[in-house]
Chains A and B, each alone.
Chain A
Amino acid sequence: MTEPAFPRLDPVGLDGLLIRFADSLSEPANRAALAFRGAVDRETWDGVEETATSLVSTFLRFDPLATPLDALADKARHLLATRDWYAADLPQGRRLLRIPTVYGTELAPQLDEAAQAAGMSPDDAVKDLSGARTRVTTIGFAPGQPYLGTLPEAWNIPRQTALTPRVPVGALVVAIRQFVLFSVTTPTGWRHVGQTHARLFRPDSDDPFLLRPGDEVAFPEVSRETFENMRGQGKDGIEVTPL
């Protein structure tokens, strides 16, 4: 009998072990990755120094001199065999965050272009995007920065071939049925369709990271005037509700 393709274990450099649950983004594989990381964290394995998840994988960083890779991989295989991880529940303590967003205008200049790529009018695009309830599939690339999915099929639009040189902190960008909300000022190949006041990484706060994997996020539309008033009052307007 051949080994199933997934979950698949691979070393990452000298001190990492990656457990991949799929080779493309899917909801069950995303849940599996989150649940498996949670289980490893609860078991507090000797030699494991840090754990993390990407879209559909769990990453374990370990001390390769204290714990041989094979021993850790055996332990991981053993835990994998204990249940159907693809059927796992989402993490506990999830929340719904509603983040006020200005769509279009010079604050988010690529709305029209993105709407065209999705084959709809700008008004319909705003309706679609502001009505979508998305989930944080992973946090990564930059501190606190979420990847959010999954948008309706019409939003399976490619990344731009050229990079937008700079989008500001709080920019909401879209491509391949996902949003990214930017935590740093950065160049990007994704299209900038909305702007928020969200600050995803607040290093001096007791709770430095706004979002966690599994949280649900909506981006309701606000007028430019409301948005500017929030800025004037130093507010981000974000509502947080436990799920």
Chain B
Amino acid sequence: MRLSMRNLRVLCLLLLLPFWGIAMARAHAPLKPTAKPTAATVVAVKPVTPPVVSLPGLAWIEFPQVILNHWWVAPHPQDVHWLQIRPKDGDSRYHVLVIISKESSSYSLALNTVLDVFSQQGISAEFAVINIDDHEALLNSAITYAEAQGMNLVVSVGSESAGYLSKSYQHGKIPVVTCINKDPVLLGQIQDYAGGHDRNIAYTSLNVPLPLYLSYLRTLRPQLRAVGLMYDKNHKQVMATEVNPILKALDAEGIRVVDVAVDGAEKADEQLAKRIPQAIKKLRLIDNQLDNTLFWMTSSTAVFSNLKTVNAYSETIPVVASIPNACVGGEDSAVLGIGIDRRSNAHQAALYAIQILTEATPPGKFEVGIVTPPDIAINFSVARRIGLRIPFRFFENASYIYDYSGRVVRDAGVRVTY
């Protein structure tokens, strides 16, 4: 038989027939119910009361008058352990859940900063604030409540809540912004600093990138040879995000490290008093004159809450802290604090939050928010005592400066006159 064009067409149709049958069958098959309810169904069954909180509450949060001028702050009508914050001028367009990890003055500052940025930018939002006091179950309840209420955004304050959300809510329905948390990459919460991931969380970090930090230390001590590293070895997050990376980085740079480690806050004072002189002996073996040596104080609370002891024993070796808060007025202070101030980090988080709310930017698009240049605090009283000259670049970039008498003369960048 000759294969004519007509025969060829018939053959093609016969071959295609079974595929057409399968496609039609699939098209008319009944729909299976989805395992996860849609947003519409959740909203339809929303609970009327927030989860009951029998834990510490939020009475410790202080709101300065400048915030209260713009915001109305009150306990939730159904549960006093929740705070409701609404703008004074007009209705709220967005609803934000703020999850605070635990009681901390830093978190109080962070919340105030977020409110301040929102009011500066004219973003009309209502905040529901809860303190989970490091209870994951409570965080989950709060999230369920937020989803039920159809809230637009979750802001986590503190490393703990950021950790829980990274673990269980990375693909959650409501976008999340983290605030006042340690480096999420070093903690394994996310792979890298660049944006473009598929998670529904926008991260920020309190840690200054190590190469940048080392460049600051090199400016201070161009021939840096030895570092006395002060830390609390029981503080897992500090160990993961600061101590271990610092040891690795300094080793790569050929800088010797002498440990000044404490075991928790209770014995810290006593241990520092004993271990700092021991460390100085070892440091002298590396750098006899101690001209190219410094103490690096990590953000371990156990260490920086004992500044008096640190100062008493550190002789003329400059103490540089990873957090600006460790450089304070008076004599009991680190000479320099180089790090990201809590307020700066909260400011960054607030900007991410606003962009997510107003421009519907997917949280995964943001790179890890690290504020650069870092905040710098200088105590000239300590500097003069130990004979340290402060680099002009540090002076120009410093947000906090304390003069020879220990008085603050520049506060959050603004000159203070007496």
Our verdict on whether A and B bind, yes or no, reads no
User: Residues of B at under 8 Å CB distance from A?
Assistant: none
User: Residues of A at under 8 Å CB distance from B?
Assistant: none
